[in-house]
Every structure is written in C-alpha cells, then in structure tokens.
Amino acid sequence: MHLRRLELQGFKTFAQKTVLEFVPMTAQRRGMTGIVGPNGSGKSNVADAIRWVMGEQSLKLLRSKKSEDVIFSGTEKRSRSGFAEVTMTLVNDDETSELDLQEVVITRRLYRDGQSEYEVNKKASRLTDVALLLAQCGIGQRTYSVIGQGMVDAVLSASPSERKEFFDEAAGLRVFQLKRTQAINKLDATHENVKQADVLLREIEPRLVSLERQVKRLREREGIEEELRRVERLYFGRVWSDLKQRLEVAMGQHASAEAIFAQKNQEALELERELAGMEQAKPVSSDVNDIRAVLDVLREERVSLREQQIRLDARKQVAAVRAEKPWSPLPLSKIIEEIDAMGKAHDELMTLLDAEKLDVEQIRSVAKRLVGKNADLLGRLQRPAPEPEAPKSATDPAVDAEVQKLSDAMDAIAEKIRTTESRLQELNRKEESSRSHLFETQRRLTSLRHDAQSAERRLSETSVEVARIETRRESFYADLRNQAPALETELDVIVVEALKDSSGDPIEKVQGRMQRLRSQLEWIGGIDPATVKEYEETHERFTKLSTQVTDLRQAIGSLETVIAELDQTIKERGDIAFKKLNEAFGFYFKKLFGGGEARLIQLEAEPVLDEEGNVLEEVDENAGPAGIEMQATPPGKRLKSIALLSGGERALTSIALIGAIMATNPSPFVVLDEVDAALDESNSKKFADILDSLAEKTQFVVITHNRATMGTAHVLYGVTMAEDGSSQILSVKLDA
C-alpha cells in the first residue's frame, strides 16, 4: 500500500486545484518525496490536507480555530472558495493485504454552510468507515502517519496513557482496538436493546395472556360455530323438506277441494235454474182447482137433483101408500136428525173435495156413508113391512115423468162427475208426478248444496292449512334469515344433505342440539375482530421481540467472544510489538547518541480508590497496561526521566522512537513536517541516513529545510506563494 496522489482544491492556501503525485522509486524501495519552500508558502498545508482527509477533527492539529478556516478565505486579488476538498488516492500493491480493493480513493469535502461529506471510491461514507478502512490499511489516523511540528516532542512529554495510545497505533493494534471499541459499543447497545425488549416483553406478556384466553375462547367458539352450521344445515334442511312436502300435499288437497266445490256449486246452480224454471211454469193445481170447482158445481147440482129425486120419491111413495092404506111416518124430529147427519156427511165430503191434495179413498168412503144414510132413511120412512107395488094406475104420471127426468139428469150429472173425477185423478196423478219431480229436484238441490257446503268447508280447511303452512314457511324464512341467512340460497342443497343424513335423529332432537349450541355461543360471548387482530399483532410483536431477545443474547455471547478474542489478539500482538519496539528504540537511541541506554516500561493499571481507600472501579484484566513510561540515558549521564533531557537530546530521543516504530511496524507512508528542524548538521545527516534505511518499507513525504534530508529525496516539490495569495507547486525528479 502506498500513497499515489493528493488532490487539493480550496483547502487553505491551495485555492485552485492542485495535484501532487507520489510515485515510489521502485517496487522494492518506497523512497522519499521532499516538499520544500520558504516560510509562509503553505508547504505545511500539504501535511494538514493529508491529516484532514484522513478524518482529523482536532482544529488545534489543523492549526485552525473553526472548521471553515480550512476553506480558502480569499485575498485582495482572489475571491474566496465556497468549499474545501481534498482527495487522497492509495494503491494496494501488497499481495498479502486482506483488503480486496486495488485502489482506495478517499475524499473529504466541506462547504461554508457547515455541511461535510466523506466519500470512499466516490460513494458516500461515514467517518467511522474511513477510520476503519485506514486502520485496515495500516495507516494511523492521528499518530505517526502524519507527524507535524511539535508532535515529536509531544510524544516524550505526553502522559503514559497518551503515549500508550501512540504506541498501540504504531504497533498496528489500532484496527483491533477500533473493532473492540465497535464491539463494546455494540455490546452496550445490545444490552440496552435487551433491557428495553425485556421491559416491552414484561409489558406485553400480561396483555398477550389475556388476549390468548380470548382467542382460545374464540377457537372454541369457531368449533361450536362449525358444529352449529352443520346442525343448522341439517335442521333447516329437514324442516324445509317437511314444509315443502306438507305444502305440496296441502296445495293438492286445496286444488282438489276447490275443483269439487266448483263442480258441486255448478251442479247446484244448474238445479236452481231448473227449479226456477219449474216454479215459473203454470202450476197443475190451477187446473185441478178449476176441475174441482166444476166438480163442486156438478155435485151441487147432483145433490140438488138428488134432493128433488128424494122428494119426488117420497111423494111417489106417499102417494102409493095413500093409495093403498094409511101409515104412520117417522117423527119429524127423527127425520130432521137424520137429514142433519146427512148434511154433515155432505159437508165433510165437500171439505175433502176442497182439499189441496185429494184423497180419493177417503172421498169414496164418505160418499158411501152418505149413500148408506140416505138409503137407511128411505127404508125407515117406508112401512115396517113391504107392501105390494101399487098399480101404475095409482101413481101420478107427472111425477113419474119428473122422476124419470131427474133420473136422467142424475145419470148425466153422474157421468159428468165421473168424467170430471177422472180428469181430476189424471191431473192429481200429473201433479203428484210434478210434485215428486219437484221434491226430487229440491232434494237433489239440498243434497248438492250440502255437498257444496261440505266441499266449501273442505276448501276452507285446506285454505287454512295452506295459510298455516305458508305462515310456518314465512316463520321459517324469518328464523332462517335471523339465524343462518347464508343458507337461504342453499335450501335445495341442504335438503339433499338432510335426506342423506344417516343419523336418524328426530327433528326435535336436532332442534335441541341446535339450541344447546346457540346457548353455548351466548355463554362464550362475542369476540371483537379488533381483539383478534390485536392478539395477532401482539403475538407477532411478542414473538418478534422474543426472537430478537434470543438473537440479541446470542449476539451478546458472540460479541463477548469477539471481544475476548480481540483482547487476546491485542495482548499477544501488543506484547510482541512492545518487545520489538523496546529493542528497536534502544538500538536507534544508541545509534543516534553513540551509546547510552533507552527503554520502554509498561505500567500496570491500578484500581480506582475513593478518599477512604475503597475500591470504586476494579481493574479490567483485558484492558492491558495502563500506560508506557520512557527512560533514556545518554552516554556519560545518569538521568532517569526524559524531562531532564536537553532540547537536542529530546529531539534525538524522539527521532530514535520514530525510527524504532517505523522499523518494527512500518506504515505504508509517513508524513514528516519539519521534524528535523531542531537538529544540527551532524544529527541531520544521521536522521537522513535513518530515513534512507527505512525507505525500503515505508514511503516518506518530508516537509523540510534541511539539505541532508533533501539530498535523500528522489522527488522534490517546491511550494511557492503566487501574487494572488495562493500556493502553487513546482516538481523536480532527482536521479537515484
């Protein structure tokens, strides 16, 4: 690894873009580049630029008071810059390097508004990334990679702990210490994360337990709901199947009753129309009444003729009796009584003849009784013993003629009466037939009306049954829509499923099972979907936190292992590097002083005590030594503290220490900013010889005024101040 190029723009006195090329002499010898120039030309700004691009944050080391002081502030002849930018290019030519980059380009940029940027190979990066990358490259950020004016003596006057930091970086332990620091920071952050996660877990766990109980009830509810859906499908399927069958039967019965009622009603209407026609026709009874009136007249005439005949017969008999001998007639009162009885019989006969329905046998019986009374009366009016027929000469011819006339009239009347009675009997028979047909029609109509009423009652009953089943159907729909609305569109399907059910349980048992399941659901109660979502989110969060805690605890274990391994590596390498550094320090001290003795001493850490001597902080066994003390004794002196050294001796001791560091742990490049300013010509030659010997492994960039040092360099850059107040570069390549 070596420094290839340095580009400056707007940095301090380098207003315009300036490029410095640092090319090694050969692949085996890094060589040395010298930067020379008069005081105030800005040559030390090159060292500041390298230190700044490597991430230096100390304004004191950058010889500034505020961050924007590194930006070219302008002169009377040149305006100020808006930003400062430095780009350092490193080339990885070490085949054994773990870094897989062939070239590393680090850029740092600062604007006047305070915005700062870092880039590694033109990609935005962080300061920590830059520091770790430089540590992996073996380049110290704040120690001996860039050694400025006064820093050499600062190493000697530094405290043991500060000196230890310098030596650790010089020993190449910086990369491990950075990793250890990062691991410790990660470990602390991980412990904090575990603590926070544990707090969250303790807060979440009670809520999760409560939600888990509710979700467990929900799972039970889901099982019950699934069973309820199955039972509901069976119950509603069987009920709907039964309702459909009942409704079909009721509708069939209703249609049949309606047809029968319509038929009976139609037949009754036809009979009513027929009966109405019969009622509108001329009744037979009017002809019967007419004939009866004629018969009554004839009978009256016959009675009148009969009375005349009786009187004539009486006169004739009286005349005959008188003609023969005298006789004693019946008493008048007896005759009147008999005639009165005959009149009553005659009235009875007339009553029978005037009746609406004639009883011929009764009329005949009354007529015979009337004739018998008449004959009996005649016999009693005669003499007790029969008398010989009187001679015709004894009768009156006029009477006989009248009798004959009456007899003929009686015969005529009798004939008319017989004819009239015959007509009357015919009409009676006809009326009787008509009445029988009327009565039969009325009977049939009554029967039909009874049948129609029965059919109507049956129709009403079937209508009520249909309405009752339809009401049950509506109630079924209402119950279905209330309890299982999703099944309304699957009625035909669940009917088929219900018919295939092999359990054989009665519908009452299925209904009871359904009610019990619903009661269980009511007892369990409803679960808010938000609660389920909250449980899922809480459970997921708890699981993630638990997993994270597990991962964090594993990470803690891994980090502790890494830290322990880093501590072990730092200790082992530190011990080896310290031993080599101590030997090299003594070697270069003797070489520079021509004798004497110098050595490094590790100081062990001590526990922190309070005023009373109590231990406040134990010693970290893995922290290593607390600091490094230096002892340097020039030849012929017995000094135990380097504070007693003279200025020249201190400068030589510092150079001996730098030489030892570079010899034991060579850095890819080292920038020396006038570290030889305090040396005399003889010691400057020794210093130049040391740099020349170390140039085989380390690339040097030396800012110097010393001729001996200039003579060792293979490339010289001259820095001069232009008229506009900016620094400019001139380069000279010297032959090796």
Residue 389 included in any domain: yes
Please tell me the distance from the alpha carbon of residue 218 to that of residue 525, in angstroms, as a whole number. Answer: 9
Do 617 and 623 touch, CB atoms closer than 8 A?
A: no
The Cα 322–Cα 129 span in angstroms is 192
Q: Which of the residue ranges 207-216, 495-504, 574-583 would you say has the lowest mean pLDDT?
A: 495-504
Residues 167 and 143: their CA atoms lie apart, in Å, by 9
CA distance 648 to 154: 14
In degrees, rounded to 5, the angle at the alpha carbon of residue 271 between the alpha carbons of residues 266 and 275 is 150
Give the mean model confidence (pLDDT) for residues 578-583.
Answer: 86
Under DSSP, is residue 637 helix (H, G, I), strand (E, B) or coil?
Answer: coil
**Strand, helix or coil for residue 42:** coil
Read off the pLDDT of residues 374-413 as tens digits, 9 standing for 90 and up.
777 777 776 554 445 545 445 567 777 777 787 788 778 7
Report the C-alpha gap between 729 and 721 in whole angstroms.
Answer: 9
Structure confidence by residue, pLDDT tens digits, 516-527 = 877 777 766 655
Q: Which of 441, 459, 489 is the last residue of a domain?
A: 441
In 3D space, the residue among 53, 56, 34, 84 whose CA is nearest the CA of residue 671 turns out to be 34
CA gyration radius, the chain: 77
Per-residue pLDDT tens over the stretch 321-350: 555 545 556 677 778 887 888 778 777 777
Token pair, residue 68, equals: 């924007």
Q: Which tens digits make up the pLDDT trace of 135-167?
A: 777 776 555 678 876 666 677 777 877 777 777
**Cβ contacts of 493 within 8 Å, gap of 6 or more:** none
The answer to the question of residue 363 being in a domain is yes
Q: Is the Cβ–Cβ distance between 121 and 32 less than 8 Å?
A: no
- Residue 578: what pLDDT? 83
CA–CA gap between residue 701 and residue 2 (Å, rounded):
11
Please tell me whether residue 31 adopts helix, strand or coil conformation.
Answer: coil
Which of 410, 441, 472 finishes a domain?
A: 441
β-strand pairing of 123-125 with 116-120: antiparallel
Q: Is residue 67 part of a domain?
A: yes
Q: Give per-residue pLDDT as tens, 251-276.
A: 888 888 888 888 878 887 887 777 77
Residue 18: domain span? 1-145+673-682+697-736
Question: Which region, left, alpha or beta, applies to residue 13 given φ > 0 means left and ψ of -120 to 50 means alpha?
Answer: alpha
Domain assignment present for residue 507? The answer is no
Q: How far apart are CA 494 and CA 356, in angstroms?
A: 76
Q: Is 545 left (phi over 0), alpha (psi -120 to 50) or beta?
A: alpha
Digit-coded pLDDT (tens) for 550-562: 888 888 888 888 8
- Supply the pLDDT for residue 393: 46
How many domains in the chain?
Answer: 2
DSSP run (H or E) holding 597: strand 597-603
Q: Helices 529-593 & 681-694, crossing angle to 10 degrees?
A: 130
Last residue of a domain, one of 423, 441, 459: 441
Which CATH number fits the domain that encloses residue 42?
Answer: 3.40.50.300
Domain assignment of residue 326, yes or no: yes
User: Around Cβ 325, how many Cβ atoms within 10 Å?
Assistant: 8
Answer whether residue 250 is part of any domain.
no
Q: Residue 450: inside a domain, yes or no?
A: no
Q: Which residues on neighbouring strands pair with residue 670, listed in sequence order?
A: 700
Where does the pLDDT of residue 319 fall: very low under 50, low under 70, confident under 90, or very high at 90 and above? low
Q: Which two tokens stand for residue 541?
A: 């969060």
Please tell me which residue, 449 or 316, carries the higher pLDDT value: 449
In a domain, 270, yes or no: no
